[in-house]
Amino acid sequence: MTRLGVLPRLVAFAYKNRSLHEYLDRHLYEVSIHMYPFLANKRRSIKFVGILAGALHDIGKAVDVYQNCSLYDLETQACSYVGHEVFSALLTVKIVDLDSVPDNVVKDLADFLSCNEIEARRALIRIALVSIIGHHQAMGDPSFRFERFVHRVTKQYGLRRLGIDRAVVEVVEKVLESARRALREDYLYVELDPRGVDHVEELYNSALRKGRQQLIDSILSELRMSFFSKGYNEKLFMLEKFIMGCLIAADIYVAGLRRGEALSNPLHRYLDKVYRFYSRYLPASALLNECSIGSN
């Protein structure tokens, strides 16, 4: 059993007036682990970027508006996390140190994509970003979801500053450490720069002073620059869609288990069969491992 030490617990899902919570550390770990069966027989660079996307996909929920449940549905009282995937993608760009990705992972991807290592490092972050920003695409275009977030927050709070909990960086580090040990994949390593959180905060709050539309344009423009790549690579395009599909499936499955939906929803029942079939690829340590920060 792996414990991640004592840190403030960040919430991944909650209700406004109910004590039921899902914690971010546990959710990120479980999604990362449930990415693995789809990736187990793939090359190491594909496993690396898939598990990294799982560990990062919800880090945007560290924004204080989400953590405080300032936005919620009046009927269900469920907290709203609309637009969090945009923050998750932006934080990923700013905190992940691409130069720290193991050389054997970069060389493996460069060989697969038939490109040089500089292009392979850029491809790694692009694959992660495409997967993260698209993992809730069934709920709507992420740019529109982000616009809805901005309009709701600015209408309710005016020019209230947005904050991001710094613990999210250490949470991701510990999640990756636990996944590396549980899955017995020693190359699952990347350094994170906590200064990236400051950058995202400053970017948001500075742009907000210029107005809501300027804020939206600034954030989306920042992300567009990260998605930029020269030319067209069919393998990269297919790999982006594959990793995104794995992430969507893992996220839906894990959330369904935690919210008691697995038995009633046909999609969850189907995914349960899929995971039962692929469970032979999961080390026993991954199935038994507990990713915990503090106490529930």
pLDDT tens digits, 146-186: 999 999 998 877 657 899 999 999 999 999 999 999 999 99
Q: What is the pLDDT of residue 4?
A: 45
Q: What is the pLDDT of residue 268?
A: 84
Distance between CA atoms of residues 246 and 34, nearest Å: 9
pLDDT in tens, 68-90: 999 998 888 899 999 999 999 99
Q: Which two tokens stand for residue 101?
A: 């990705």
Cβ contact 54:41 at 8 Å: no
Distance between CA atoms of residues 26 and 293, nearest Å: 8
Could you tell me which residue, 232 or 35, shows the higher pLDDT? 35
Q: What is the pLDDT of residue 280?
A: 80
Mean pLDDT of the residues in the chain: 89
Distance between CA atoms of residues 86 and 65, nearest Å: 14
* Mean pLDDT in residue range 265-277: 85
Could you tell me which residue, 4 or 51, shows the higher pLDDT? 51
Return the percentage of the chain with pLDDT > 70, whole number. 91
* Mean pLDDT in residue range 102-113: 97
* Mean pLDDT in residue range 199-227: 92
Of the chain, the end-to-end C-alpha distance in Å amounts to 16
pLDDT at position 293 over 70: no
